[in-house]
Amino acid sequence: MPKSKKQSRNSMTGGIPTPPPQSQSPFMMDLDDEDPPDMMPALPAYTKITSDDSAYKTWVCLYPVYFDSTKSVQNGRKVVKDNAVQNPLAKDIAESVKMLGICCVFEPHKTHPKDWANPGRVRVQLFTEFSKPFINDIPTRKELIKRVAKILSEIQGENPQKFPPSHSPAASSGILLKETKSSDTNVSGGGSSSTSSSVTSTSQNNTTTSSNSSKKKGRKGRK
């Protein structure tokens, strides 16, 4: 009895049946479709991407000068000097606000008019849209500044900043270097002037002594 075509094919392939055709995977994108599916993962519900900053225009602003121990009250400091730190950084202020559990926005290129050498600003959502504080223990801006100052002193207390940050306009323009050189020049100039004055006084004394001795010699010669 002659073998069928199907049996002859199986004998040629060693008896291994041909696998059935697989259906297209649902994760594969058909390039022939006019509107291919969006392969980007969905963002979480709490994530918001926007370029409009009008949403936080009314938020409270915090500047590093508010907490700077090197600044006076007239120059912008808003906390007691014992609670202030030296040259605080805006990023550490934002971290302090985060530790309080309040939403904030860090703006690294904003500056205070009286403290342009230390850039950075933090906007804090102190109140809700119904004008109620997010945290009942922090109902005012003054209380917020006190809380931030306490945390900031713990962050920067062990490693105080001696100079403004490297991205400061003062550091990039070389003003700090000029001030250092000028102070060194004043010190050296003061020392040289005192030395020259002492030399001058010594020379004057020598001149007076020589003139007196010449007068004495003249008197002896006359006798």
**pLDDT above 70: residue 81:** yes
Structural domain boundaries enclosing 79 = 60-157
pLDDT at residue 66 greater than cutoff 90: yes
Q: What is the pLDDT of residue 130?
A: 87
* Average pLDDT, rounded, for the chain: 69
Distance CA 94, CA 89 (A): 9
Per-residue exposure over 180-212, b if at least 16 CB sit within 10 Å of its own CB, e if not? eeeeeeeeeeeeeeeeeeeeeeeeeeeeeeeee
Whole-number pLDDT of residue 21: 56
User: Helix, strand or coil for residue 7?
Assistant: helix
pLDDT (mean) for 75-86? 93
- Note the pLDDT of residue 156: 76
**Which residue did the predictor score with more confidence, 98 or 48?**
98
87 in any annotated domain: yes
Count the neighbouring beta carbons within 10 Å of the beta carbon of residue 10.
14
Q: Which two tokens stand for residue 71?
A: 């600044």
Cβ(93)–Cβ(67) below 8 Å: yes
Is 8 inside any structural domain? Answer: no
Looking at residue 132, which CATH number applies to its domain?
3.30.56.30
Residue 186 is assigned to a structural domain of this protein: no
Domain presence at residue 30 = no
| Total tally of structural domains belonging to the chain | 1
Mean pLDDT for 25-47 is 43
Given a cut of 90, whether residue 46 has pLDDT beyond it is: no
Helix ranges restricted to H, the chain? 5-12, 90-99, 141-156, 169-173, 175-222
Contacts of 152 (CB under 8 A, 6+ apart): 67, 85, 88, 92, 93, 96
Is residue 162's pLDDT more than 50?
A: yes
Q: What percent of the chain has pLDDT over 70?
A: 47
* Average of per-residue pLDDT across 132-147: 93
In this prediction, residues 92-116 reach a mean pLDDT of 91
What's the average model confidence in pLDDT over 31-49?
Answer: 43
> C-alpha 26: how far from its chain's center?
47
* Gap between the Cα atoms of 64 and 119, Å rounded: 8
**172 domain residue, yes or no:** no
Has residue 25 been placed in a domain?
no
pLDDT at 56: 84
H helices of 157-174, where? 169-173
Q: Across residues 108-121, what is the average pLDDT?
A: 90
Cα separation of 120 and 33, whole Å? 49
Q: Is pLDDT at 112 greater than 60 in this prediction?
A: yes
Two structure tokens written together for 60:
């409270």
Q: Does residue 152 form part of some domain?
A: yes
Q: Does some domain include residue 111? A: yes
